[in-house]
Structure 1
Amino acid sequence: MPDISKPTLRQKFWLRTKLPFWTGGLVTASITILVETLRQSGIIIPIPFLLVILAVLLTASIDGLKTGMISSAVWAIYVIYATTVPFGPPTLTGGPVQVISGILAVLLVAMRQGWVKDQVDKRTKKLKQTIEQLNNEIAEHQQTEAALRQSEELLRRVFNEAPVGMALADKDYRFFKVNRILTEMLGYTESELIGMTFIDITYPEDLNETNSFIQHLHKGQIGSFRLTKRYLKKNQEILWANVTVIALQDEKGELIDMGMVEDITEGKKTFEALQQSEARYRAIVEDQTELICRFQADGTLTFVNDAYCRYFGKQRSELIGYNFVQFIPVEDQEIPSQIVNSLSWEKPISTGETRVISAEGTICWQQWTSRILFDEQGNFIEYQAVGRDITKLKQAEAEVRTALAKEKEISELRSKFVSLVSHEFRTPLTTIQSSAQILERYSNRLSEEKKISHHYRIQRGVERITKLLDEVLLIGKAEAGKLKFEPAPMDLVAFCYELVESQRISASPKHTLTFIERFLGNSRSEGAYAQMDGNLLEHILTNLLSNAIKYSPEGGTIEFELICNSQSATFRIQDNGIGIPPEDLGQLFESFKRASNVTNIPGTGMGLAIVKQCVDLHRGTIAVDSELGVGSTFTVTMPLHCAN
């Protein structure tokens, strides 16, 4: 209904004030005054009544039929008044009073007529508005009905022509409407499905789950549900479907179920085939001993096989989603990036080697074959890499390189040794040959003293050659591990005294050889007794003493000190010779190695190597302390009692 607001107090006052001045009121009042004047003058002709009719007609023509009818009612009241009030010539007492009272009555009636007209106008306007609103509501209702019919038609078409199976069922699960697609899916006709329930077509193993959802739906606990289930077709084949069921109400408020059935049988078969294929692929991948992984361009792992997990000691969940560079040493982390950045459509495969950190924290070598993967449209997917541990191969390569370098070094040393030995043999042989020729050619001319001197030179040359041969044989046995170790009881002090005396005979007069013996915590007799290999000990001490003399060309004192305690014996030999350069100390005990400052002093480089082998057989140690131009000190410590 339209909202008609009530007039205010000011509006009501103005309305009452202007009512006498309405056209209908003025006409009625004017004619009434004229008729009343004539009547008071004694005119009894029907002119007043004719004027009444004229006033009604005039009012109707000015303000309409409705106002004319109101005027008729007003004049009916006036006629009643006129018949009750006597009329005649006006008098001082009665005439004016009657005229004035008549005029006032007419004016009051006219004012009332205006107020009634105003109320009628308001009611008429309100009625028009109500009728207009009612017409609008009728039009809207008609439009709603049309839209509803259109919507129902659209829903009917959607239901019947939907690309999925659709059905409506009552609260007892019985179908009362199905579409064509559903009948084609299940192999039933529409008439066969109508009246059946979903229980009749549900695969038995899926019935409990479906029942549970339906009961929750009917109890109002859920508004809809969706599940994947199996149906039995008319020919008893299985139909896989995604089912959506929604609870609705019909026009009577009764509960109905609307179901939508999407056939996914082919997709299910494809998915199962894909799963089987993936399972076979995964079994192949997981059975591989090689490390297999897939990763994005930024190195984030998307797949790893069991071998990869075992190698790095991680669970798959600790690897997927993380970057593989965590297993690569910092200095090598650019290598994988360089490998994958070199891959392209034209060059999809690349092989490279890099170091990795294993589960034990050790550095290992891996060889990776990386491949870039694209989809059918040529868009990049990810990278795949297959790695294998080549640590042993790398170690073997390093050993081969070391062996080759050693072989080369040995070959060079052998050549150098042959040269040295040839030189060392040539010198005594030359001496022997020279002295022999002199004795042969000039024996009758030489004095006995000269002959003895030449015989001594020949004897010394033979001894030197014999010593060289012994050293060569000894170093050969030592390197072949065939050097015999035969410890026996011996008196160390007497052994050392005898050795010192023999060295004094061969030393030049400018060399002084001293021997000192010290015993710590025991008597001389206890400390002097030892069990060592005398032959090997002689090689040790003879080489060290002869070297001390040989490498002290300017002469000086050679100190030989024996220090014994209850457990070990220490032999310390100190000279004032040329000393050994610091850079040569590390290779001093290797075969055929000599210090770089002994080029003018003869030697084979075998002596200290033999000494080291002999000390090792005694399970002892040897140390050297040397300073260029000052001298060297060799210290040998061995157990006092050695077992064979």
Structure 2
Amino acid sequence: MKNLLLSISKANNHLLKQKSLEDALNFCIKEIGSGQDFDRCYIYKNEIDNGVLKFHYKYEWCNKGIEPYIDHRDPDGIAYDALPELYKTLSSDESFQGLVKDCSNELFKQIMGILGIQSYLFTPIFSDDLFWGWIGCDDCKNEKKWRDEDLYTLHTIAKNIGFQLNQDRIVSKLEITLEKINFYMEGSNQAMWEFDINTNQTVYSYNWAGLLGYTNDEIIQEEEFWKRTIHPDDLNQLLMDTGHLISNRLDNYVGTTRMIHKTGKVIWVKYDILLKKNKEGKPLKLIGTHIDVSELKEKEIQLKLSEEKFRFIADNTTDLICQYSNDGNFQYVSTSSKEITGYLPEELINKSSWDFFHKKDFRKIKNYYENTFKSLQSSIVTYRFRKKDGSYIWLEATTKAIINSENKVLGLQSSSRDISERIKRAEEVKAANAKEKELNDMKSQFVSMASHQFRTPLTVIYSNAELIDFKINHFEENKSQSIACITSRIKTEVDRMTELMNNILIFAKDESQKLKKQVKPVDFNVFIETLIDTYFNNNLYEREIKIKIKGKKKPFFTDEIMLVHILTNLISNAFKYSVDRSNPELEITYSENEIEILVIDYGIGIPEDEIKHLFTSFFRASNTSTIIGSGLGLSIVKQFVTFLKGTIELKTKEHFGTTIKLIFPYE
């Protein structure tokens, strides 16, 4: 018994004193083996290898004459699956013992034979209920029967090893945790302190000095120093809450306060204070941490101001401001919702916006949202939204994506306005335009039909007047002259009616927008020469027009038919309104980028107060009543000039004549 107790005592002494666990275990098995006169004493440690629990030969002591196997591969790394009865017994915290020859497991018998073992005793080692491994003792010379004392010794030492293993594991974790805490505290702007309630002494540690701008030597380990560092407006509340914590009216105390930096500036500090008590529940200490959150607090203040500003704008604008989650649910709705949709904001929050869209707009809205998510660009869409009363209104919305610093879309924000009236007016205008077009088409068809219907009787009248002229050649001279005067008046009026019909047809085409231009290159010098020969050298006016050309001729692109109508009308007017006066003039100037055409006459001119009406349809000046005209000529001329991208200007003075200037670009 004395040897037993001595072995246990020595083993425990090694476990307590040795700094290295490995050294302690080696000394333990030596004390056990030598003290109890075993042939071999060793320790196996359990380890998981690729999901399989195995035992490994880690520590060994051998008596004199016994071969060591610490580096031998055969007894190492064996899976418990191969020795189930061994695992079952040891994991149940029971010893596994016996004679090798009596073992039924052939693998176990083979391993023990290799080690030269006759009898064995295994005792499990548990560390905090974890089956860590086991101690083994062998007798290689005799088939030894193990005594209860042997079992007790091994079991006691195994328990003590388990305690030491558990303690080492806890200490190791604690050291790692402390290292992490020290690293965190030293590498952050967090400070730590303790206040002893009994002595009123305060101990500051870690970053306290740096937090407030002091050096360690300037820190005074007293409560008064701490009070001086607290903002005076926050001190009373902080002291009162701390008193509540000490009197058990608060479990812990967390909050934010202002502190005074050494430079005098105010910093924001987040604090966390815990109360430490003794076993009887009496308060002993306050332990607290402070961390500088000034930058975060400033951002929080700015964010709050921004949010308040946004909500003020959103709640006071006539537009409907909404924010949506990625799945389309309302997250925020401005107060204007009531006026626009009939819904209060709280009636829409967390509801799906898709439930309020008109079914005919679903596809358009879906494509619009998908494009907004992809492009992250704001754009405009119009759609119908169901109001609370079940009716639909038209909304015009500008939507943009809400993204975070990592460019991830968090949702959408839209600004919408009710455009129902605008849509209604647009539809009314569209209907009115369609009606107007229909009426214009009907008018154009009527004018065209009426004009063509007039041509036939006018042609018959004109032909019969010529036939009468032919027949009166056989009458007496006085009778023929009388009749010729009548036929001349008939022909003149027929010409007037024909001109009127032609102008009305052209005017109707222009109004119905059926005029088409065919632009092609025109040699303007040749064009003018041909036009004069064709229309004005037939002695109709018994006069001629003077032509003057300035500048170097350049290519001119225009619609020749329209240009013929413009110039024949203006030149005819020049002749018609300047009878018995000087011949009219045509002046052509080729400038750098355009061609300028002047049609000048020295005729009756136009009264000054009537000039503003000249280009109005069917208007004729008061001094032209005796001259044939329809009142459409200048109106059509201006329309054609504009159609050809040109400009027209008129200068006139009654009794002195008129000058009309045309300007056309070459292209």
TM-score (norm 1): 0.39
Structure richer in helix, relative to its length: 1
Could you say which structure has the larger radius of gyration? 1
The answer to which structure, 1 or 2, has the higher relative contact order (CA under 8 A, 6+ apart) is 1
TM-score, length-scaled by structure 2:
0.38
